[in-house]
Amino acid sequence: MWDRANLIRHYGYGQSWGVLTALRERGAIDVNYGAEQESGRESMQHPLVKYTDLAFSVALVVAGLISLRGVKDPAAAAGLAGALFGGAAVLFGNWINRMYESRRAVEDLGRRRSSLRKLIAAELVTTAVGYLNAKRETAMSLSPNAVNVSGGFAPVLGAIGQHLPRGLPLTSSLGTELLILEESAIDALITFQGCFAMTRMNVDQSLERGSLVSRLVVMGIDALVSHDIGLLAKCFEQIAPTRKMQMPDEQPELASELLRRVAAGK
């Protein structure tokens, strides 16, 4: 709906997000860079490269066996075979250590990613509650049965502004730590953050009009809020797909499904 590069250029949403997005847009880094670093470069390499030490170790063992049978001098054969077997043992030990460190790095990355998802999910829930309350305010004010109050739609817009959060401070402060997430998750978070900043800006600018706020303005804000709620649902799908939320007098349901339903006006 909006060009993300223009959002970043004109409506920046935090230093860390700006740096992260600029790097991604310019292709200066790969979004999987953090994962590659933490999981060990060996895990990302071709299998032939990963198993080089093992292959050379096997080759040295074979060479040692051949030397025992091919060299006529028993002492020379034993010395050569011992050297070859020793080299094979060193290479085999290096291969075991490398595989262990690579596996441990992958496990550590998984734990970090899980913890990061929990932190972001908690902030997404708080953000979702604010958006749901804002959507409720717009729905009530635009309802055919709505009662006109003194001040027109300005109080409604004020209530919307109070419910909408000012940003995602925790998520924004994570900076390049977010690079350990999948590309789709990063893209969902950045897209929502950019559009959210634009919605917040529109609400603040409309509030400056005071009593001049019209029904048309509230309808525009309602459309922006609905659009953001749909993007927020995508964030839940990527970050916390099993997270559930509950509306008053309703059964708990997946946050992503609940948000999509509200965004669609159901």
Per-residue pLDDT tens listing for the chain (266 residues): 334 444 344 434 444 444 344 434 434 334 344 444 444 444 445 555 677 877 888 888 888 778 777 767 777 777 877 888 888 888 888 888 888 888 888 888 888 888 899 999 999 999 999 999 888 888 777 766 555 554 566 677 777 878 887 778 888 888 888 888 888 999 999 899 888 888 888 888 877 776 666 778 888 888 999 999 999 999 999 999 999 988 888 889 999 999 999 888 87
Q: Given the structure tokens 């709620």, which residue do they identify?
A: 229
Residue 49 lies in a domain: yes
Helix axis angle, 74-142 to 154-163, nearest 10° = 160
Residue 143 lies in a domain: yes
Q: Do residue 237 and residue 151 come from a single domain?
A: yes
Q: Do residue 74 and residue 127 come from a single domain?
A: no
Q: What does the DSSP 8-state code read for residue 31?
A: T
What is the Cα–Cα distance from 75 to 155, expressed in whole angstroms?
98
Q: Do residue 27 and residue 92 come from a single domain?
A: no
Q: Given the structure tokens 């706020």, which residue do they identify?
A: 213
Q: Would you state the structure tokens that stand for residue 229, as one six-digit string?
A: 């709620």
Q: Do residue 61 and residue 173 come from a single domain?
A: no
Domain boundary among 54, 80, 104: 104
Q: Do residue 87 and residue 139 come from a single domain?
A: no
Residue 12 lies in a domain: yes
Helix axis angle, 52-70 to 74-142, nearest 10° = 170
Residue 36 lies in a domain: no
Q: Do residue 100 and residue 118 come from a single domain?
A: no
Q: Do residue 51 and residue 162 come from a single domain?
A: no
Domain boundary among 86, 104, 122: 104
Q: Do residue 61 and residue 158 come from a single domain?
A: no
Domain boundary among 54, 69, 104: 104
- Short-list 184, 169, 182, 189, CA closest to 235: 189
Q: Do residue 146 and residue 51 come from a single domain?
A: no
For residues 240 and 124, the answer to whether their CB atoms sit within 8 Å is yes
Q: Do residue 21 and residue 141 come from a single domain?
A: yes
Could you tell me the pTM of the whole model?
A: 0.63
What is the Cα–Cα distance from 69 to 91, expressed in whole angstroms?
23
Q: Given the structure tokens 């804002």, which residue do they identify?
A: 134
Q: Would you state the structure tokens that stand for residue 236, as one six-digit string?
A: 């839940």
Residue 179 lies in a domain: yes
What is the Cα–Cα distance from 243 to 113, expressed in whole angstroms?
16
Residue 125 lies in a domain: yes
Number of structural domains in the chain: 2
Q: What does the DSSP 8-state code read for residue 151?
A: T
The upper half-sphere exposure of residue 170, i.e. CA atoms within 13 Å in the direction of its Cβ, equals 13
Q: Given the structure tokens 């997946």, which residue do they identify?
A: 254
Residue 91 lies in a domain: yes
Which domain, by its residues, includes 84? 41-104
Q: Do residue 60 and residue 124 come from a single domain?
A: no
Q: What does the DSSP 8-state code read for residue 119?
A: H
Cα torsion through 41, 184, 3, 220, rounded to 10: -150
Q: Do residue 27 and residue 47 come from a single domain?
A: no
